[in-house]
Structure 1
Amino acid sequence: MSIQGITEADIANFLAHNPGFFERNAELLASIQLTSPHGQRAVSLQERQMEMLREKIKGLEGKIIEMIRHGQENVAIADRLHRWTRALMLTASAADLPEVLTRELMHQFMIPQSGIRVWGAADAFGSLAFAAPVSKDVQSLAASLTLPYCGVNSGFEAAQWLDDPAAAMSLAMIPLRHGAGVEAFGMLVLASPDPTRYTAEMGTEFLQRIGELASASLSRLLPVG
């Protein structure tokens, strides 16, 4: 809008650079009427400013509540991770580690099913379930995973490690290895009947940490040297 060559931008620029204008013309604050966003009634400039401030404060309160909620969720996750890690550290027998690892993982994080295989285990553990032979395809899959796989269960062999493979609609497959570029010595599988529990779009940072802690714990199963 332009009035005799003066544009809205000119008026806005003048007011921005002359903060004392309304102090010198205080009567304008009471006389200017604006339309309220909460109806068609007219309100004063001061009232409109107050409405804008209330809306801004309400938005900030919402953000603070969301930050508090996220903080509480993060504390709860950290507590569960702590209890899981503590259970692993308190496991005296190395042979019991895979069972404790999967059982406590399911308990702490409400995971319906979990399975594990370690194909690099020492000969002393060869007769145990977690050391059962796996195919070269599974080993190649684990070796190819630089990040945990999350997605639908499309008939993966690793799903057969679960108690009820048919109920596994989505999977997270986490390779077990000591550091990037190192050959995988096993794989951890998490499963859910919910097809949206593990998806390709989800972040894998937390699952990576689970894999790192699991790998460190299960290092006791590997041959010495």
Structure 2
Amino acid sequence: MNPTEHPITEDDIANFLANTPDFFERHAELLASVQLSSGHGNRAVSLQERQALMLREKIKGLETRMVDMIRHGQDNVAIADKMQRWTRKLLQAAQARDLPGAIVEGITTEFLIPQAAIKVWDVNGIFSDESFATDVSEDAKTFASSLGAPYCGVNSGFEAVNWLPEPAVALSMALIPLRGAEGAEVGGLLVLASPDPERFHSGMGTDFLERLGELAGAALTRLRPQQATAR
């Protein structure tokens, strides 16, 4: 058979070297004589040098990943600490009527959210005249009940934006439905807002916001008719 009918390909050479690990032991002189592109300009380097360069680049990449992992871990610890401080303040609220204000104040200070507001409905009658329980339309309640997860995105003219201290500068928002327990009816809405149009966006994860809503909703059960007291 004429060998030119089946010329040796690069894959053939690569497979041969991969399956013949002792080749360079028998031909050690090749390791010093083979010249490769350095990968940085046109300079040629030996095979050993090229391997060393590749290893250094790999190590650099691993170091970068490790730094990122450490930073993310530190960020998560910081968020957990803030969440704990905020939850502690809710547990320490002596009077049930102070809870909505404590929720909002804690969020803006602990998590550096520029603006926040909250409304709660179906509360005990002794709280029906409080600012957190008034001026909520049925449309707003229906909208809140339709949210299966927090809404994050631009301000599209939601009624809830008017609950904020400065509605005109709320360019991005997070709207978080509040439930007293898993599967319970929505009984309130927490609004977070920022002048940064990218602070809250449709592609962001909502796990943290959901946990925030679960804790706030559970705390607010003290305002419900079966739970509320004059304190």
User: What TM-score bracket applies, with the shorter chain setting the length?
Assistant: over 0.9
Moved over 4 A (4+): none
Deviations 1:37-69 (A, max 9, x none): 112121111111111111111111111111111
Q: 1:73: which partner in 2?
A: 75
Aligned runs of 1:135-174 on 2, under 5 Å?
A: 135-174=137-176
Q: 2:26: which partner in 1?
A: 24
Deviates more, 1:8-17 or 1:212-221: 8-17
Q: For residue 192 of structure 1, report the CA deviation from its aligned partner.
A: 1.0
Deviations 1:131-155 (A, max 9, x none): 1141110010001000111111122
Aligned CA distance change for structure 1 residues 89 and 180 (closer, same or farther; 3 Å) = closer
User: Conserved in 2, the CA contact under 8 Å of 1:119 and 1:133?
Assistant: no
TM-score (norm 2): 0.93
The answer on 1:193 being equivalent to 2:195 is yes
C-alpha distance in structure 2 between counterparts of 1:39 and 1:152, whole Å:
47
Q: For residue 126 of structure 1, report the CA deviation from its aligned partner.
A: 1.3
User: Conserved in 2, the CA contact under 8 Å of 1:146 and 1:180?
Assistant: no
Q: 1:206: which partner in 2?
A: 208
Aligned runs of 1:83-102 on 2, under 5 Å?
A: 83-102=85-104
Q: What is the SS of the residue equivalent to 1:19?
A: coil
The answer on 1:38 being equivalent to 2:59 is no
Q: What is the SS of the residue equivalent to 1:18?
A: coil
Q: When the two structures are aligned, how many residues end up with a matched partner? A: 224
Q: What is the SS of the residue equivalent to 2:42?
A: coil
Q: For residue 178 of structure 1, report the CA deviation from its aligned partner.
A: 3.3
C-alpha distance in structure 2 between counterparts of 1:161 and 1:85, whole Å:
23
Q: For residue 183 of structure 1, report the CA deviation from its aligned partner.
A: 1.7
User: Conserved in 1, the CA contact under 8 Å of 2:181 and 2:217?
Assistant: no
1:64 to 56, 63, 66: 66
Deviations 1:69-115 (A, max 9, x none): 11111111111111101111111111100001100110001011111
Residue type matched to 2:157 in 1? G
C-alpha distance in structure 2 between counterparts of 1:127 and 1:16, whole Å:
79
C-alpha distance in structure 2 between counterparts of 1:8 and 1:197, whole Å:
51
Q: 1:132: which partner in 2?
A: 134
State the identity %.
59
Residue type matched to 2:204 in 1? M
2:53 to 51, 54, 59: 51
Residue type matched to 2:123 in 1? A
Deviations 1:184-209 (A, max 9, x none): 11111111111111111211111111
TM-score (norm 1): 0.95
C-alpha distance in structure 1 between counterparts of 2:53 and 2:220, whole Å:
60
Structure 2's unaligned 5+ residue stretches are none
User: Conserved in 2, the CA contact under 8 Å of 1:150 and 1:173?
Assistant: yes
Q: For residue 182 of structure 1, report the CA deviation from its aligned partner.
A: 2.8
Deviates more, 1:151-160 or 1:78-87: 151-160
C-alpha distance in structure 2 between counterparts of 1:101 and 1:206, whole Å:
15
Aligned CA distance change for structure 1 residues 179 and 217 (closer, same or farther; 3 Å) = closer
User: Conserved in 1, the CA contact under 8 Å of 2:152 and 2:202?
Assistant: yes
C-alpha distance in structure 1 between counterparts of 2:198 and 2:50, whole Å:
45
Q: For residue 5 of structure 1, report the CA deviation from its aligned partner.
A: 2.1
Residue type matched to 1:14 in 2? F
1:218 to 212, 220, 224: 220
Deviations 1:154-201 (A, max 9, x none): 221111111111121111111111345432111111111111111112
